[in-house]
Amino acid sequence: MSGLKPFRVIKQEIRVLGIDDGKFLPHTKGDVLVVGVVFRGGCFIDGIMHTKIAIDGLDATEKIASMIIGSPHRRQLRLVMLSGVTFGGFNIVDIKKLNSITELPVLVLTRDKPDLDAIHSALKNLTATEKRWQIILAAGEIYEVKNKGSKLYMELAGLSLADAQTILELTSTRSSFPEPLRVAHLIASGITS
Amino acid sequence: MSGLKPFRVIKQEIRVLGIDDGKFLPHTKGDVLVVGVVFRGGCFIDGIMHTKIAIDGLDATEKIASMIIGSPHRRQLRLVMLSGVTFGGFNIVDIKKLNSITELPVLVLTRDKPDLDAIHSALKNLTATEKRWQIILAAGEIYEVKNKGSKLYMELAGLSLADAQTILELTSTRSSFPEPLRVAHLIASGITS
């Protein structure tokens, strides 16, 4: 993995940015809200940022990177967590690119194992099928992990599996899903529903 | 105070709804986002709701009441906290009415003492001056309280000063301002700036 930097130390209150998208009507044109929540470990919220991306568009990586880079929280952040790599339908985040632009490690987490065959089929109904597929593949290996008794699936860019597991445990204070992502989901869906 | 119901018991994880408004361009026409955050005590977020009110309009009480009544969290809520009574400029919440419609006690909190003379003057530049002024007055007595070393100002509808102070202390886990309002502010302003 290029650009992998082991954490020297993982603080209890490590600043983690959790990112999730809001609700939208699939197969429509338009934008969807993407919310970033700055969490201190699994404890409390330090800030909120947001951007908008095109439904089924190709701008998720760039828009999310710009949101992070333009934020006053940027220098305090140590990790970016994403709820999957597909946002706003099939606007897919290139996690290697996000890692290299922001210089922050990226941890992608899902409750279900990404079904690559189903994704590949769905992409055939969209423009830029091959480009989107390559971004999906660029996320690399899918790791199955156990967290508080639940199976979860991770993809990583710029951090080791051991560090990812440590941070996952540290930030999962209320459920088997880490607080930055649990709360990003509550906010993004709460604001758009 | 009519409808004052003392709390039989105030649980550590009492569900409190904190409400704040987003950013907007003053003196313009349009809507402003109002966010409600369901907090368990001063601990963690249980949910998010939102509504939109007119800038300098007269619909804040009704829109916020509808947001609460229409929420799946309604039955778990024990208290509503507001960051002041003016939202979206001078769209003023009638806290007695909000208390009677929602059947929930309302606690208004500000860092600065409301300057009634300045508010009265400002209202003269708006429609429905007298109506707005009566809503301001309807909030009743302004209590000065100390919380974690900071002076704060409260107005109350449907709960006692003693209960209000207990809940204020209980929910102020990160600063001298209660978490439901601190986080409502972060979200509402973070989504609209």
Dump pLDDT digits (tens) for B81-92.
999 999 999 999
Average confidence (pLDDT) over B49-66? 97
Q: Chain A residue with minimal CA distance to B182? A: A45
Average confidence (pLDDT) over A169-185? 96
How far are the Cα atoms of A45, A143, B126, B135, B174 from residue A162, in angstroms, in the given order?
Answer: 25, 11, 61, 58, 31
A129-138 helix and A116-123 helix, angle to the nearest 10 degrees: 160
What was the pLDDT predicted at B5? 80
Instruction: Work out the minimum CA distance from B188 to partner chain A, whole angstroms.
Output: 9
Give chain A positions within 8 Å (CB) of B189: 48
Quick one: tokens of A119?
A: 């994704």
| Residues of B within an 8 Å Cβ radius of A | 33, 35, 44-45, 47-50, 173-174, 179, 183, 186-187, 189-191
Dump pLDDT digits (tens) for A72-112.
999 999 999 999 999 999 999 999 999 999 999 999 999 99
Give chain B positions within 8 Å (CB) of A179: 44
ipTM score of the complex? 0.88
Q: Which long-range contacts (CB under 8 A, 24 or more apart) does B137-145 make?
A: B138/B94, B138/B95, B138/B96, B138/B97, B139/B85, B139/B94, B139/B95, B139/B96, B139/B108, B140/B1, B140/B96, B142/B113, B142/B114, B144/B113
Dump pLDDT digits (tens) for B172-181.
999 999 999 9
Dump pLDDT digits (tens) for B140-170.
999 999 999 999 999 999 999 999 999 999 9
Which of B50, B174, B189 minimises the CB distance to A44?
B174
DSSP H or E segment with residue A185: helix A179-192
Instruction: Work out the minimum CA distance from A43 to partner chain B, whole angstroms.
Output: 8
What was the pLDDT predicted at B2? 53
The answer on pLDDT for A1 being more than 70 is no
Does the distance separating the beta carbons of B191 and A45 come in below 8 Å? no
Instruction: Work out the minimum CA distance from A42 to partner chain B, whole angstroms.
Output: 10
Quick one: tokens of A114?
A: 């990404």
Q: Find out whether B102 and B174 touch, Cβ atoms under 8 Å.
A: no
Dump pLDDT digits (tens) for A38-78.
999 888 999 999 999 999 999 999 999 999 999 999 999 99
SS3 A191: helix
Strand ranges (E), chain A:
15-21, 31-40, 44-54, 79-83, 86-87, 91-92, 106-110, 143-147, 150-157
SS3 B93: coil
**pTM of the predicted protein model:** 0.92
- Which of B19, B186, B189 should we substitute to test contact with A (largest number of A Cβ atoms within 10 Å)? B186
